């Protein structure tokens, strides 16, 4: 998996504890080693997490090794970003994007 600096990795086993029970909104990136756009998105997510860690938690999950969560949320491609608030998915975005666009899409959280 393309690990973005400063981001926690979640798995099928700890997804509920880390994401669904979190106090803050959580942005989950569904990623994979073979995914080129995921590599482009990694520094964007790292910067977002570093700049907004008090308002949002950003984590990654590898779709190849954690298929249950991917299937449960209907993820069909990588990267897919899903924003969870109060344990519920509230927004889904597919594909890499520049930081400015991602900040705008998440402005209600940030």
Q: Catalytic site residue 80?
A: no
Rounded to whole angstroms, how far apart are CA atoms 27 and 10? Answer: 12
Q: Hey, how many other C-beta atoms are within 10 angstroms of the C-beta on 26?
A: 24
- Which position among 4, 18, 28, 35 bears the catalytic label? 35
Per-residue tokens: 33: 């080693």
Q: Catalytic site residue 35?
A: yes
- Which position among 38, 41, 78, 96 bears the catalytic label? 38
- C-beta of residue 84 within 8 angstroms of C-beta of residue 24: no
Q: What residues are paired with 62 via a beta bridge?
A: 31
Pick the closest to residue 34 from 8, 76, 9, 2 (CA basis).
Answer: 2
- C-beta of residue 12 within 8 angstroms of C-beta of residue 66: yes
Which residues are marked as active site?
35, 38
């Amino acid at each position: 998996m393309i690990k973005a600096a400063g981001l926690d990795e979640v798995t099928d086993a700890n997804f509920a504890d880390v994401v669904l029970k979190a106090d803050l909104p959580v942005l989950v990136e569904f990623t994979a080693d073979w995914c080129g756009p995921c590599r482009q998105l990694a520094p964007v997510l790292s910067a977002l997490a570093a700049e907004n860690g008090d308002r949002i938690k950003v984590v990654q999950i590898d779709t190849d090794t954690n298929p249950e969560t991917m299937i449960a949320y209907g993820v069909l491609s990588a990267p897919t970003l899903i924003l969870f608030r109060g344990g519920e998915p509230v927004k889904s975005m597919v594909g890499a994007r520049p930081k400015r666009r991602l900040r705008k899409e998440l402005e209600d959280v940030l």
